[in-house]
């Protein structure tokens, strides 16, 4: 059994895979993280693990985790199942490495655009030759709502609407439409840009806003909420097999 830990900007996700099959997934709070890991490893016969963190993590937590299970800490030196041609690999987010690893594993020999809609919206492409050169990063939906409030004197801080107003006929509706429609048009536009260069293009949508965006996008996509966790598992398997 493989233990996969993803420490993101807003939550800690923990998963267990039986080879490539996801058999357990849960979210943990920081204060209950270690005890939760102990419960998971007691319940499942975990033999090895991998951890990804986009923010700083307490070194003592890492030490404690490695005492529980043999653990790979994903970084720019970790062996990857694709050719990483990013110009500054030390600055590349490990979450993006995991997403491209998932693309390499699940869509081999295909041009695959991975869109991760979380705190930020990232666009990353793996070409049919297994080469990754990079992509782009833009503010996520929640970040846009906060920015509209923070950088103005009178506009309110709103939570994401589950539907996009047809007309911004009030200040609140105008904010909802501006942000949500803007995100949809941005994603559709980026997909079209890549399709001009890659006629055969597989598009994967993942991240916290997957369900909302999938309902509103017109482009043909694969919506895979656990894509990052699956990518981490594929990196772990790749390092075991090496």
Known binding-site residue numbers for substrate: 86, 93-96, 171
| Alpha carbons 240 and 123: distance in angstroms, whole number | 28
Q: Which residues are annotated as a binding site?
A: 6-13, 86, 93-96, 116, 119, 171
Q: Exactly one of 18, 95, 109, 241 is catalytic; name it.
A: 95
For 203, the enclosing helix (H) or strand (E) is strand 202-206
As annotated, the binding site for ATP includes 6-13, 119
Classify strands 12-18 and 83-84 as parallel, antiparallel or unpaired. unpaired
Give binding residues for K(+) as ranges: 116
What kind and span of H or E run contains 44? none
Check residue 31 and report its DSSP letter.
G
What are the Cα distances from residue 144, in Å, to 120, 149, 202? Answer: 10, 9, 27
Catalytic status, residue 58: no
Q: Which residues contact 21 (CB under 8 A, 6 or more apart)?
A: none
C-beta separation of 80 from 101 below 8 A? yes
Cβ proximity of 68 and 37 under 8 Å: yes
Active site residues: 95
């Amino acid at each position: 059994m493989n233990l996969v830990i993803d420490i993101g900007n807003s939550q800690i996700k923990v998963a267990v895979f039986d080879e490539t099959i996801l058999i357990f997934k849960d979210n943990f709070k920081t204060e209950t993280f270690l005890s939760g890991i102990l419960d998971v490893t007691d319940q499942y016969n975990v033999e090895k693990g991998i951890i990804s963190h986009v923010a700083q993590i307490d070194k003592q937590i890492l030490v404690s985790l490695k005492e529980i299970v043999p653990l790979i800490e994903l970084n720019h030196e970790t062996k990857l199942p694709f050719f990483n041609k990013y110009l500054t690999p030390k600055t590349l987010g490990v979450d993006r490495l995991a997403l491209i690893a998932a693309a390499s594993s699940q869509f081999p020999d295909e041009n695959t655009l991975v869109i991760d809609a979380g705190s930020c919206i990232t666009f990353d492409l793996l070409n049919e030759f297994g080469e990754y050169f990079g992509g782009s990063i833009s503010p996520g939906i929640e970040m846009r709502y906060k920015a509209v409030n923070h950088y103005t004197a009178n506009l309110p801080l709103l939570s994401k609407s589950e539907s996009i107003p047809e007309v911004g006929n009030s200040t609140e509706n105008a904010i909802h439409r501006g942000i949500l429609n803007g995100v949809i048009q941005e994603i559709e536009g980026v997909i079209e840009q890549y399709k001009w260069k890659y006629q055969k293009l597989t598009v994967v949508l993942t991240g916290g806003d997957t369900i909302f965006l999938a309902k509103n996008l017109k482009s043909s996509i694969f919506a895979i909420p656990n894509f990052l966790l699956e990518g981490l598992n594929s990196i772990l398997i790749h390092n075991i097999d090496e």
